[in-house]
Amino acid sequence: MKSDQASRGGRPFWTVALRGLALGALALAGSCVSPAPEEGAPGELTLERVVMFSRHGVRPPTRLPVLPPGYAREAWPAWDVDPGHLTARGYEGARLIGAWTRQNLAARGLFAESECPAEGAVFVRTNTIHRTRESGRAFLEGFAPSCGVPIAHSAGERDDPLFDAIDLGRAPFDPAAARAAIEARAGGDLAMSVARVRPAFDRLSEILGCCAPALCQEAGLSEGCSLGDLPHVWEDTPANRRVRFTGPFAQGGTAAQSLLLAYVEGKPMREVGWGRASAQDIALLSEIHAVEFDLLARTPYIARRAAAFILDHVMETLRAPQAPALSLLVGHDTNIANLGGVLDLHWRVPGYAPDDQAVSGAIGFELLRDAQGRRYVRVFYQAPSADQLRALTPLTPDNPPYLAYLEQPLCAMREDRSLCRLEDFLRTTDAVLVRETDG
C-alpha cells in the first residue's frame, strides 16, 4: 500500500486527525530538562502498545566496487542480488524476528498467539527502497502470516522525511556547525577517535591488504601505511545537507560493515574477508562502524534534527487515545543511531561492538499502565545475534534474540532507570528535538 504521508509532514495516516494533540516545541536542542517529582515505583504493569523502529535485513554492499582502488588487494566476493537489495536469507532473518516478536507480544497479552490481528491493530511503514519494503513484508510474514496487513510507504524514491529529514532539506541544518560538533565529540581531532579503536584498524588493514603504495603516496605518507594512518578529509557539503568525510572511518566503516554483512549472510568463511577474517575479527571490526556512526549520526547536533520526524511519530502513537497495538517503522542503521543519540541509549548485541546497529535490530518503545491507570514508557533494543542471523536459527523462548531494556537518562525514574512516566518521556523528548519550524 502506498500513501501520501510525506506531504503530511511524515505523520502516520491514522494520526492526521490527532495533530491538534501534538506538543509544542518546548526548547531548542541542548536544553536540560528535569523530570517532574515522582510518585514512587509502579506496581505490576500491563502492556498497552509497542512502537518499534527496525533496521532492514541482510543486504550486499550498496555500491561496487565496495572501496576505491588501493584499499583492498583482491576483488570483493560477488553477491547474488543487486547492490543494496535484501537477500533471500535477509528476508528469512527478518521473518524469524517477526515470528519471535509475535510470540513475545502474545505471551504478554497484547495479541492472540496465532489468529490474524484485528484490522488496524498493526501498522507498518517503511522507507521506499527495496531492502526496507521487503524487510517489512518479511517481518509481517513472520508476525501475521497471510493476514494481508498493508505496508505504507511514500510514492517516490527516498522522498520520505521520516527517514531522510536532513538529506531532504526538512531540518534546519548548518554543515559547518555539524562538522564542529563532530570534531568536538571526537575530542577536537578525528584522529583521536582512530586511536580509540586502533587495534580494529590494524586488523582490518591486514585483512584488506591495505594500503597500496599509490594510495599511501597520494595521502603524503610513506609506503607501507595502514588504513588508520590515512588523513580525514571533509567532503564539500551542499547547504542544509548531511555532512560526510573520507578517510579511515568512511572507508573503514564501509569495509567493516561489508565483512559483517557477508558473515551474517552465511557466506562460507573463505568468502568472508578472503578467508582471513574470523567471527572474532568481525566483532572487533564492528568497533570502526560503531565509532563512525557515533560521530556522524549520534552526535546530538545531528541526531536531534535527523530523528525529529521519527520521534514525533513515536510520541503521537504513544499518546493517541486510539492507536495500533504494534506500530513498526523499517529504515536504516543511520536512523537507529540517530535515535540512540537523541535519547542517549546504549546496547550491545552479541557479535557487534557496543552501540553498533545490528542487522534486523530494532529500538522499541513500550506503553505500560499500572493498576491506577498511570502510564509509563520503557525503551528496549532487540536483535538476533550475529551468529543467530548467520545460522538462521529459529528464535524461541529457549533461544531468544538479544533483548535489553535501556536506561533512559532524559527522564528515568529513580527506582527503575529503564522506566519513564509517559508525561516525562513526552516532555523531555519533545524538548530536545529540532524541527523545520525552529528555524
Span 68-87, pLDDT tens digits: 999 999 999 999 999 999 99
Contact between residue 10 and residue 313 where contact means Cβ atoms under 8 Å apart: yes
Write out pLDDT tens, residues 287-312. 999 999 999 999 999 999 999 999 99
| One-letter amino acid for residue 64 of the chain | L
* Cβ contact 207:274 at 8 Å: yes
Q: What is the pLDDT of residue 39?
A: 56
Contacts (Cβ under 8 Å, ≥6 apart) of 162: 5, 6, 10, 125, 309, 310, 313, 329, 331
Please, which residues have CB within 8 angstroms of residue 197's CB and are 6 or more apart in sequence? 287, 288, 291
pTM over 0.75: yes
Give whole-number Cα distances, 214 to 101, 203, 250, 385, in Å: 50, 21, 19, 39
User: CA-CA distance, 85 to 79, in Å (whole number)?
Assistant: 10
Confidence of residue 241 (pLDDT cuts 50, 70, 90): confident
SS3 368: strand
How many H helices and E strands in the chain? Answer: 14, 10
Q: State the distance between the two ends of the chain, measured CA to CA, in whole angstroms.
A: 34
Is the distance from CB of 214 to CB of 224 less than 8 angstroms? Answer: no
Give strand pairing partners of 125. Answer: 152, 329
Using CA atoms, how far apart are residues 269 and 262, in angstroms rounded to an integer?
Answer: 9
pLDDT-based confidence at residue 42 (cuts at 50, 70, 90): confident
Q: Given the C-alpha cell 560526510, which residue does it identify?
A: 244
- Dist. CA 248–CA 232, nearest whole Å: 7
Which domains does the chain show, CATH number per domain? 5-68+84-171+302-438 (3.40.50.1240), 175-298 (3.40.50.1240)
Tell how strand 326-331 and strand 245-246 pair up: unpaired
Length of the chain, in residues = 439
pLDDT of residue 156: 85
Q: Give the pLDDT confidence score for residue 406 in this predicted structure.
A: 98
Least confident span in 51-60, 102-111, 240-249, 332-341: 240-249
- Indicate if the pLDDT at residue 10 is higher than 60: no
Please list the active-site residues. 56, 333
CA angle 252, 253, 256 (to 5 degrees): 80
| Three-point CA angle 206, 208, 210, nearest 5° | 75
Q: Which of 367, 373, 346, 372 is nearest to 420 (CA)?
A: 367
Provide CB contacts within 8 A for 96, sequence distance 6+: 142, 384, 392, 393, 394, 395
